[in-house]
Amino acid sequence: MSIWEVFKRLRPFVRPYRKLILFALVLTLVGALTAQVNPIVLRYTVDTIEEMQKNGWGVARGAGLLALISGILFLKEILNSLIVFGQRFYGEKIRISISGDLADTAVGRILTYDLGFFSSQTNEKGKLQSRIDRGVEYLTRLVQSFFIDLLPLFANSVVALVVMFSANFYVGLVALSILPLYFWVSYKQAEKLSGVRRTLKGQREDKSNGLINLIESIQVIKSFVREPYEATKQFRVQQLLMGSLLKTRQTNFFFDGLKSFLEQIGVVLIIILTAYLVLDQQMSIGAIMFHILLFNNVSAPIRQLHRIYDEMNDALTYSESFFDVLDRKEAVEHSGSYQVAELAGAYELNDVSFTYPNGNKALFNVFMTIPKNQTTALVGLSGAGKSTLINLLSRFYLPDSGELLLDGQPIAAFDLPNLRRNLGMVFQKNHIFKGSIEENIRYGKMEATQEEIQEAAKKAYLHEQVMALPKQYASDAQMLSGGQQQRIAIARLFLKNPPIIFLDEPTASLDAIATEQIKNSLDAIKEGRTVVIISHSLSQIIDADQIYVMEKGRVVENGTHQALYEQNGVYRKIFEASARSLNLDKMLESMRK
């Protein structure tokens, strides 16, 4: 991506603030002019005092001069303070607003992407966060530097140069001749740093990803006493990052030193030249200070130019991956237009195959009929493809090939929000948002009343437990136990009340009593709805109207419990293994006694 492409991409973000930018620019241009006041006043003072000394005037006669100088400098400082305040404040306002807009756009965009985008390796949590954060940070810095700082800096330099040339052509020439050298050194510096910048970006993403993983895995790390191992892993990433940072600093220090040296050579040359001109009586003594201050006005902005050049390069490195996040058009979930108020939930899968974006082939030639208003159970060993199938039925992914119909329509034809409003899901591990229990249940129906929320919690056998908490429904939901969190997910489902329900191990984290309670609730909600359930619990499978048995991404058997049992195949093997794991013989023996 070239810098012009970056600016083209930034245009829509900058446009709304163009008036504000213009105002900030005018302010800084006025600032550039006031910056030339000091050298002029100083030359006038030195020359006038010298004149006075020659004439033998005392302090009393010089008082007028002092009052005049103080007045001018004082007024100039007041004006300057106002300008600096205005420039900083409006500059910051523009920066903060653009940064907010960029971040909002990125968040808005990624929310439209499909699950494939989020499960890809390049978009792991920490990496994606770092790409967006750094992208926004460097792009806004670029806007600030380019639109607010750069032009006034140039103006300042040019004004100072013009004043120098008008004072004396040769002095102006010395100042001007230092500039190309200065630019050349800056260019070399940037060239040296460009490679390190990309490496730094990758290392920063790795670091932030590593840190998030570490926090999320803290319990496992501690239980295996792997703190030293994890610390070493993180230390290595940090070491690499530190190495690159140090290299950057080293390069910067070397080139900055070189530039200071050039600047000092400029100062010395100007002093020598002006001193010669003063001695040759071509100039007054005040010109020495005048020229040095002017040269400072030329070189100080140029020094800043290097910073802007640096920021431009940083922005280039980070904007590429930032805009890449915005540009993933192929990841946008495409919604169809087919809408119905309430779906029945009859699915038909004909020869459906599916591969995850990372290349994992998960389903092969699946044929399946899921009748409406009935319960269909999916059975199979781990990795058989059961959850993947639910991902397809909920249209989180589309099949690679084959036909997936819902109520007779291809699933891709459905309006997505309309479709998902008709679906309810409870997983083994359910997401609990940061916030209160009430907020978390309300996710099922945003406009729900307190009564509706409590009613849903009662059905999920959660109400009494919540009432026993000190802050009741206002308690932090993330502090609840795994089983309680699962009940929140079930309460959400009751509140949403959809016609199609997917249950992926819905009672996995519940104790025996709760499992029975929730089973009763789910049995009640199953009435008149289409339910697809994945469960390792025999009781929930036996109850299903029909069962599909999956193995390695294929459907290998299907039928009712009794028919499959008698078939003496994969289902029977799984069923008997489950029964043995329950130690049914001993259980029955105890119950008989």
- Nearer to ligand ATP by Cβ, of 345 and 385: the residue is 385
- Nearer to ligand ATP by Cβ, of 380 and 483: the residue is 380
Query: Please, what is the minimum distance in Å from the beta carbon of residue 360 to ligand ATP?
Result: 4
Ranges assigned E (strand) in 159-247: none
In the 3-class helix/strand/coil scheme, how is 286-355 assigned residue by residue?
HHHHHHHHHHHHHHHHHHHHHHHHHHHHHHHHHHHHHHHHHCCHHHECCCCCECCCCCCCCEEEEEEEEE
What does each C-alpha distance from 63 to 67, 72, 157, 586 come to in angstroms?
6, 14, 34, 112
- Nearer to ligand ATP by Cβ, of 388 and 485: the residue is 388
- Nearer to ligand ATP by Cβ, of 299 and 428: the residue is 428
Query: Please, what is the minimum distance in Å from the beta carbon of residue 392 to ligand ATP?
Result: 10
Spatial distance between the Cα atoms of 468 and 464, rounded to a whole number of angstroms:
6
What SS3 class is residue 448? coil
In the 3-class helix/strand/coil scheme, how is 115-126 assigned residue by residue?
HHHHHCHHHCHH
- Nearer to ligand ATP by Cβ, of 194 and 360: the residue is 360
| Amino acid in position 402 | G
Query: Please, what is the minimum distance in Å from the beta carbon of residue 361 to ligand ATP?
Result: 8
Query: Please, what is the minimum distance in Å from the beta carbon of residue 455 to ligand ATP?
Result: 32
Query: Please, what is the minimum distance in Å from the beta carbon of residue 553 to ligand ATP?
Result: 7
Spatial distance between the Cα atoms of 191 and 313, rounded to a whole number of angstroms:
10
- Nearer to ligand ATP by Cβ, of 2 and 358: the residue is 358
- Nearer to ligand ATP by Cβ, of 121 and 281: the residue is 121
- Nearer to ligand ATP by Cβ, of 35 and 574: the residue is 574
Query: Please, what is the minimum distance in Å from the beta carbon of residue 321 to ligand ATP?
Result: 22
Q: Which two tokens stand for residue 460?
A: 């999920």
Spatial distance between the Cα atoms of 487 and 482, rounded to a whole number of angstroms:
9
- Nearer to ligand ATP by Cβ, of 143 and 574: the residue is 574
**C-alpha neighbours within 13 Å on the C-beta side of residue 444:** 29
Query: Please, what is the minimum distance in Å from the beta carbon of residue 498 to ligand ATP?
Result: 21
Tell me, what DSSP letter sits at residue 145?
I
Spatial distance between the Cα atoms of 163 and 155, rounded to a whole number of angstroms:
12
- Nearer to ligand ATP by Cβ, of 127 and 386: the residue is 386
- Nearer to ligand ATP by Cβ, of 10 and 384: the residue is 384
Query: Please, what is the minimum distance in Å from the beta carbon of residue 389 to ligand ATP?
Result: 7
Q: Which two tokens stand for residue 370?
A: 């899921």
Nearest to 22 by CA among 140, 137, 151, 136: 151
- Nearer to ligand ATP by Cβ, of 117 and 318: the residue is 117
Query: Please, what is the minimum distance in Å from the beta carbon of residue 355 to ligand ATP?
Result: 9
- Nearer to ligand ATP by Cβ, of 530 and 535: the residue is 535
Torsion angles phi and psi, residue 356, rounded to 5: -70, 155
For residues 163 and 321, the answer to whether their CB atoms sit within 8 Å is no
Spatial distance between the Cα atoms of 318 and 255, rounded to a whole number of angstroms:
24
Query: Please, what is the minimum distance in Å from the beta carbon of residue 368 to ligand ATP?
Result: 14
**Could you give the angle at the alpha carbon of 491 between the alpha carbons of 488 and 492, nearest 5°?**
85
Query: Please, what is the minimum distance in Å from the beta carbon of residue 134 to ligand ATP?
Result: 26
Query: Please, what is the minimum distance in Å from the beta carbon of residue 179 to ligand ATP?
Result: 56
Nearest to 273 by CA among 181, 170, 166, 169: 170
Spatial distance between the Cα atoms of 455 and 449, rounded to a whole number of angstroms:
10
What SS3 class is residue 554? strand
Query: Please, what is the minimum distance in Å from the beta carbon of residue 152 to ligand ATP?
Result: 51
Binding residues for ligand ATP, rule: CB under 6 A, are 119, 356, 358, 360, 362, 380, 382-388
Query: Please, what is the minimum distance in Å from the beta carbon of residue 537 to ligand ATP?
Result: 13
Query: Please, what is the minimum distance in Å from the beta carbon of residue 385 to ligand ATP?
Result: 4
Spatial distance between the Cα atoms of 414 and 424, rounded to a whole number of angstroms:
16
Spatial distance between the Cα atoms of 467 and 221, rounded to a whole number of angstroms:
35
- Nearer to ligand ATP by Cβ, of 170 and 356: the residue is 356
Would you give the distance in Å from CA 219 to the centre of its chain?
26
Spatial distance between the Cα atoms of 583 and 516, rounded to a whole number of angstroms:
19
Residues counted in the chain: 593
- Nearer to ligand ATP by Cβ, of 388 and 422: the residue is 388
Nearest to 143 by CA among 75, 90, 221: 90
Tell me the sheet residues that pair with 425.
Answer: 502
Nearest to 529 by CA among 391, 376, 412, 410: 376
